[in-house]
């Protein structure tokens, strides 16, 4: 089993470390120059990176990938599985870069997805199996000289495209990450259960003045989610679940979903789990012009809104956030949104078109 991870940020390196720890051959591909350039150069000089794994009794070890490169052909040709762990804003750029080198029977994993598989399919014309995750198996952060693995999700759900490959993929992934043994029905359900789609835009929007005034002293998960803001999340949940029912999915409350992912003891109260998570969360964001809006509004809420309009469900909260977040940043998020029409390359999309695309 050979795995290439595309994306040398926090998520990419944390998951690379956990795979290398199991003696799996892992290659690293960096496709952008925007962030973590110095750490990437340090990894190339050292042939790997130091890891402090707080999910494993603080174990400290050196992770040595098979390669650390910007050579797209080398990285893609090497892999049985390609894990794309960039932001979803980079999906189309990554798809275009890897398309010439992708081979039949490779598996492409998008973490997270936001139905990006359909975007990759527009550029990659090979017999490829896709998987989308709604979140990561592990969390962590790049420090100055090492990668810190900080959190382990007890349960991680994935989806497959085509759906007929679901059991095969979950069997494969559960051998790589033992928590990754749960299935969603399809990539649309995975996209709608991406937790960032809800809490990032709502937390940012209702805390915009506080973020700008605090100059870096804002703690979103501790400060933003007051009782009134939680009502907005609850109303959005209702709209999200109405859309999910249209595609054969069971309704799922955001906080219950968060408990399911983050907490071993499912008998605990969901809000108690969320408050405990909030206490341990990192500081930030420090500015409004942040990926919490730039990514999750157009790619998450824009996608949700476009599908809701097709099937006739209420998307008024997402529509409002698209407008207001765009106004905050002076951007047209409707114009840049990852709509179902763009993914399917059709001006007019029906519910049946969506069903066929996600099966």
pTM of the model: 0.95
What's the confidence (pLDDT) of residue 282?
82
pLDDT digits (tens, 9 = 90+) for 38-54: 899 999 999 999 999 99
* CA proximity to 113, closest of 50, 29, 193: 193
Q: Quick one: 173 and 280 in the same domain? A: no
Q: Quick one: 163 and 205 in the same domain? A: no
> Domain total for the chain?
2
Alpha helices of the chain — where are they, by DSSP H?
10-20, 37-46, 72-78, 91-98, 116-123, 166-176, 187-192, 196-205, 208-214, 220-223, 227-245, 254-262, 270-280, 291-294, 302-311, 316-329, 333-336, 340-344, 351-358
Evaluate the omega torsion of the peptide bond into residue 285 and state whether it is cis, within 30 degrees of 0: yes
Q: Quick one: 256 and 290 in the same domain? A: yes
Q: Across-strand partners of 78?
A: none
Q: Quick one: 180 and 257 in the same domain? A: no
CATH code: domain of residue 328: 1.10.1040.10
Quote the tokens at residue 23: 């003696």
* CA proximity to 274, closest of 199, 217, 206, 202: 199
Q: Quick one: 127 and 23 in the same domain? A: yes
Q: CB atoms < 10 A from the CB of 65, how many?
A: 23
Tell me if 51 sits within 8 A of 17, measured CB to CB. Answer: yes
CATH code: domain of residue 153: 3.40.50.720
The Cα–Cα gap between 156 and 160 comes to 14
* CA–centroid distance for 59 within its chain: 26
What's the confidence (pLDDT) of residue 279?
86
* CA proximity to 354, closest of 248, 262, 223: 248
Q: How far is CA 274 from CA 155, 221, 341, in A?
A: 15, 9, 35
Q: Quick one: 297 and 234 in the same domain? A: yes
Count Cα atoms within 13 angstroms, Cβ side, for 327.
8
Give the residue ranges of the chain where pLDDT is below 50.
none
What's the confidence (pLDDT) of residue 281?
83
Quote the tokens at residue 104: 């039949």
Evaluate the omega torsion of the peptide bond into residue 112 and state whether it is cis, within 30 degrees of 0: yes
The Cα–Cα gap between 72 and 346 comes to 30
Q: Quick one: 101 and 155 in the same domain? A: yes
What's the confidence (pLDDT) of residue 247?
97
Element (H, E) at 139: strand 138-142
* CA proximity to 43, closest of 77, 74, 20, 24: 20
Domain end residue (candidates: 192, 221, 254): 192
Scan for tokens 């870096």, then name that residue.
Answer: 216
Tell me if 232 sits within 8 A of 317, measured CB to CB. Answer: yes
Q: CB atoms < 10 A from the CB of 127, how many?
A: 10
Domain end residue (candidates: 177, 192, 207): 192
Quote the tokens at residue 27: 């290659």
Quote the tokens at residue 129: 């199996």
Q: Quick one: 239 and 348 in the same domain? A: yes
Tell me if 26 sits within 8 A of 64, measured CB to CB. Answer: no
Quote the tokens at residue 359: 């099966």
Q: Quick one: 132 and 18 in the same domain? A: yes
Q: Quick one: 214 and 140 in the same domain? A: no
The residue segments making up the domain with residue 160 are 2-192
Q: Quick one: 169 and 21 in the same domain? A: yes
Tell me if 306 sits within 8 A of 334, measured CB to CB. Answer: no
What's the confidence (pLDDT) of residue 113?
96
What's the confidence (pLDDT) of residue 219?
95
Q: Quick one: 169 and 309 in the same domain? A: no
Helix (H, G, I), strand (E, B) or coil at 235: helix
Domain end residue (candidates: 192, 220, 240): 192
* CA proximity to 306, closest of 357, 253, 255, 257: 357
């Amino acid at each position: 089993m050979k795995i290439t991870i595309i994306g040398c940020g926090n998520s990419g390196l944390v998951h690379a470390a956990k795979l290398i720890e199991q003696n799996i051959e892992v290659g690293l591909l960096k496709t952008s120059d925007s962030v973590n350039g110095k750490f990437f150069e340090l990894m190339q000089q050292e042939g790997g990176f130091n890891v402090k794994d707080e999910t494993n009794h603080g174990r400290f070890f050196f992770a040595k990938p098979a390669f650390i490169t910007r050579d797209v052909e080398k990285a893609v040709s090497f892999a049985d599985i390609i894990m794309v762990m960039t932001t979803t804003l980079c999906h189309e750029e990554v798809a275009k870069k890897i398309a010439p080198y992708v081979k039949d029977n490779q598996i492409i994993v998008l973490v997270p997805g936001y139905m990006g598989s359909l975007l990759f399919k527009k550029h990659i014309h090979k017999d490829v199996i896709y998987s989308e995750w709604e979140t990561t198996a592990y969390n962590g952060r790049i420090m100055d000289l090492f990668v810190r693995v900080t959190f382990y999700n007890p349960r991680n759900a994935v989806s497959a495209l085509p759906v007929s490959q679901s059991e095969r993929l979950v069997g494969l992934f559960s051998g790589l990450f033992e928590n990754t043994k749960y299935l969603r029905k399809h990539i649309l359900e995975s996209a709608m259960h991406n937790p960032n789609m809800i809490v990032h835009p709502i937390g940012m929007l209702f805390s915009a003045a506080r973020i700008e005034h605090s100059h870096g002293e804002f703690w979103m998960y501790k400060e933003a989610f007051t009782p009134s803001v939680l009502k907005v999340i609850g109303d959005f949940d209702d709209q999200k679940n109405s859309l999910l029912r249209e595609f054969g999915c069971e309704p799922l409350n955001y906080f219950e979903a968060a408990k399911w992912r983050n907490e071993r003891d499912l008998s605990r109260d969901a809000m108690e789990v969320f408050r405990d998570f909030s206490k341990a969360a990192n500081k930030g964001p420090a500015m409004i012009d942040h990926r919490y809006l730039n990514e999750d509004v157009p790619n998450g809420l824009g996608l949700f809104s476009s599908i809701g309009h097709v099937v006739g469900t209420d998307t008024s909260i997402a529509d409002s956030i698209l407008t207001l977040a765009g106004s905050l940043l002076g951007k047209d998020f409707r114009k840049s949104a990852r709509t179902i029409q763009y993914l399917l390359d059709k001006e007019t999309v029906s519910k049946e078109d969506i069903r066929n695309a996600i099966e």
